Amino acid sequence: DTGVSQDPRHKITKRGQNVTFRCDPISEHNRLYWYRQTLGQGPEFLTYFQNEAQLEKSRLLSDRFSAERPKGSFSTLEIQRTEQGDSAMYLCASSSFGGGGVGDTQYFGPGTRLTVL
């Protein structure tokens, strides 16, 4: 069973450009999460999907950010008009959520490191 994969691993862009990241979760995992991590901090939650439905978005997810999971499998995260403050590691995680108040263990991909010049 392959793990969570993310593409690209690294992205360098100029301020004002749009970027898109892709995440492929562990197969048959129904939940997919996006987090952002900056230097010296733990990952911060951005948004998550259950199947194709986006169930929650953090206030960190400004209007310039959009995420999709069109068929309930892979997901994309797009950042429009990038700013230098968007430079971070963007992490994707997936889980097999069963409900019933049972803890949801998330498995992370390697991340996409974004540098905005």
Partner 1 sequence: DQQVKQNSPSLSVQEGRISILNCDYTNSMFDYFLWYKKYPAEGPTFLISISSIKDKNEDGRFTVFLNKSAKHLSLHIVPSQPGDSAVYFCAASQASSNTGKLIFGQGTTLQVKP
How near is the Cβ of 63 to partner 1 at its closest, in Å? 21
How near is the Cβ of 14 to partner 1 at its closest, in Å? 23
Q: Which is nearer to partner 1, 14 or 28 (CB)?
A: 28
Distance of CA 17 to the CA centre of its chain: 19
Residues binding partner 1 (CB under 8 A): 4, 6, 31, 33, 35, 40-45, 48, 55-56, 91, 93, 95, 97, 99, 101-111, 113
Q: Which residues of 93-106 are buried (b: 16+ CB within 10 A; e: fewer)?
A: bbbebeeeeeeeeb
Q: Which is nearer to partner 1, 47 or 82 (CB)?
A: 47
Q: Which is nearer to partner 1, 20 or 50 (CB)?
A: 50
How near is the Cβ of 111 to partner 1 at its closest, in Å? 5
Query: What value, to the nearest 5°, has the Cα angle with vertex 74 and ends 70 and 25?
Result: 140
Q: Is the peptide bond before 43 cis (omega within 30 degrees of 0)?
A: no
Secondary structure class of 47 (helix, strand, coil): strand
Look up residue 36 and give its amino acid: R
Q: Which is nearer to partner 1, 91 or 116 (CB)?
A: 91
